[in-house]
């Protein structure tokens, strides 16, 4: 069987979900059947810490050692800049012409628009795009969101497959009239569940190592500290929880522009000693073992890989009923869903789990069983089958 060359294109390579999904896809693909090229931008807009930079560099080294051709394209930035974007487009076109991939697979909106049109101009046989959650709500203001909507409509006709991470995302694309049913395929973002499912851990020691009281109940949010991720929604909800459970500790794992506001709000509440900011961490399995209740209060969410990680670690999850989160959380079974932005409902959900250790354990066990269907191996299998099916369509 002829080895197929696949080129993945994304604007930035950082610790975010879309970048990690793309990198893991490149790492885990069967190199006996696929030759993989990964093209990405300089990622300066992510403002990564030295620890994050080293972690990403290590992942890229592993990819290169595994046979992935890794290419950093300086002009491929997330922020819109017409002159730089035009240069990035021509660089992508020249690269695709030189590499002659059988498949170009773009990721996220900016790389998706430039990469797909460059691939079409270079006559690439198959063009695939994964939006990783659309940007038509919550990320930008209405004018910019409208621009992305128009760009997506323009690129749709030259796209052979659009990959939705969840059924909710697929329905959004159909509802907005961005594509037709036949082009859409749902492939959940895969997680290496084995890393988070290791047994024999000692949560008291994990908490102590983070500077938390070893016997305290810990609520945690893992992700970007940006308005769309709802970190302030969680803090405001906790104000009601602390009335009945004053010793609960709240941790934020991640970074973003809202950290200062969150610190100030915690100080005004008189809860600075209960709210901890850990930044981005590379030891996520250990961090997860220290958390008793994981919360994802996003206002818009493509999927929420952290939910799968929490489920694999046998943790109950509270998530907003938006985007792809309902694909993962079955309300009342492995977690609790609440209306996005509803601090009262979130406060009630946290208090309910805080008061009932048996319910936390029960939901955690249900989540662990459910996490298996979102394992990384399933994502890779679906992606490879999609590539194979496209080749069969071409030769039929």
| Mean pLDDT, rounded, for 346-350 | 98
183 and 201 share one domain = no
Q: Which domain holds residue 292?
A: 193-374
Q: Hey, CA dihedral for 193, 197, 202, 204, is it positive or negative?
A: positive
Over residues 232-251, mean pLDDT: 97
Of 34, 38, 44, 36, the residue nearest 10 (C-alpha): 38
Mark whether 17 and 126 lie in a shared domain: yes
Question: Crossing angle of helices 142-155/109-121, nearest 10°?
Answer: 30
Q: Are residues 159 and 113 in the same domain?
A: yes
Is residue 173 located within the same domain as residue 201?
A: no
Judged by average pLDDT, the poorest of 127-141, 205-219, 284-298 is: 127-141
Confidence of residue 396 (pLDDT cuts 50, 70, 90): very low
For residues 167-194, average pLDDT: 88
**Neighbouring residues of 278: CB distance < 8 A, sequence distance ≥ 6:** 210, 251, 252, 253, 287
Residues 10 and 113 in one domain: yes
Same domain, 47 and 117: yes
Token pair 């932005």 is found at 341
pLDDT at 276 over 90: yes
**pLDDT number for residue 301:** 87
Residue listed under structure tokens 């208090």: 351
Q: Which domain CATH number covers 238?
A: 3.40.50.2000
Residue identified by tokens 């662990």 is 368
Same domain? For 202 and 310 the reply is: yes
- Counting the structural domains of the chain, the total is 2
- At 19-43, the pLDDT tens digits run 989 999 999 999 999 999 999 998 7
Q: What is the pLDDT of residues 95-118, one digit of tens each?
A: 999 999 999 999 998 899 999 999
128 with 147, same domain: the answer is yes
Query: How do residues 349-385 score in pLDDT, each as one tens digit?
Result: 999 999 999 999 999 999 999 999 999 999 999 999 9
């Amino acid at each position: 069987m002829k080895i197929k060359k696949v080129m993945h294109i994304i604007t930035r390579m950082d610790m975010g979900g879309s970048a990690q999904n793309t990198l893991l896809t490149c790492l885990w693909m069967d190199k006996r059947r696929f030759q993989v090229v990964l093209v990405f931008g300089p990622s300066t807009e992510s403002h990564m810490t030295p620890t994050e930079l080293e972690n990403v560099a290590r992942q890229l080294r592993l990819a290169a050692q595994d046979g992935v051709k890794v290419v950093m394209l300086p002009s491929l930035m997330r922020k819109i800049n017409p002159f730089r974007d035009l240069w990035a487009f021509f660089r992508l076109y020249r690269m695709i012409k030189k590499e002659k991939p059988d498949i170009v697979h773009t990721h996220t909106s900016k790389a998706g628009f430039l990469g797909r049109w460059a691939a079409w101009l270079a006559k690439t046989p198959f063009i695939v795009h994964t939006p990783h959650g659309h940007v038509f709500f919550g990320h930008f203001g209405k004018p910019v969101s409208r621009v992305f909507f128009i760009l997506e409509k323009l690129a749709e006709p030259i796209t052979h497959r659009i990959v939705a991470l969840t059924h909710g995302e697929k329905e959004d694309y159909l509802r907005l009239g961005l594509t037709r049913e036949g082009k859409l395929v749902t492939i959940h973002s895969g997680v290496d569940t084995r890393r988070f499912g290791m047994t024999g851990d000692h949560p008291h020691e994990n908490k102590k190592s983070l500077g938390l009281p070893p016997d305290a109940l810990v609520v945690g949010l893992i992700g970007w500290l940006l308005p769309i991720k709802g970190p302030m929604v969680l803090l405001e909800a906790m104000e009601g929880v602390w009335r009945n459970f004053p010793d609960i500790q709240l941790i934020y794992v991640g970074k973003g522009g809202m950290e200062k506001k969150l610190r100030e709000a915690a100080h005004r509440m008189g809860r600075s000693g209960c709210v901890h900011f850990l930044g981005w961490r590379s030891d996520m399995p250990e961090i997860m073992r220290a958390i008793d209740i994981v919360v994802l209060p996003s206002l818009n969410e493509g999927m929420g890989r952290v939910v799968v990680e929490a489920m694999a670690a046998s943790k109950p999850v509270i998530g907003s009923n938006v985007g792809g989160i309902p694909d993962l959380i079955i309300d009342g079974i492995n977690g609790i869903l609440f209306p996005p932005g509803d601090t009262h409902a979130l406060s009630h959900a946290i208090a309910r789990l805080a008061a009932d250790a048996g319910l936390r354990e029960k939901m955690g066990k249900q989540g662990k069983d459910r996490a298996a269907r979102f394992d990384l191996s399933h994502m890779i299998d679906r992606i490879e089958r999609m590539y194979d099916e496209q080749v069969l369509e071409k030769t039929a």
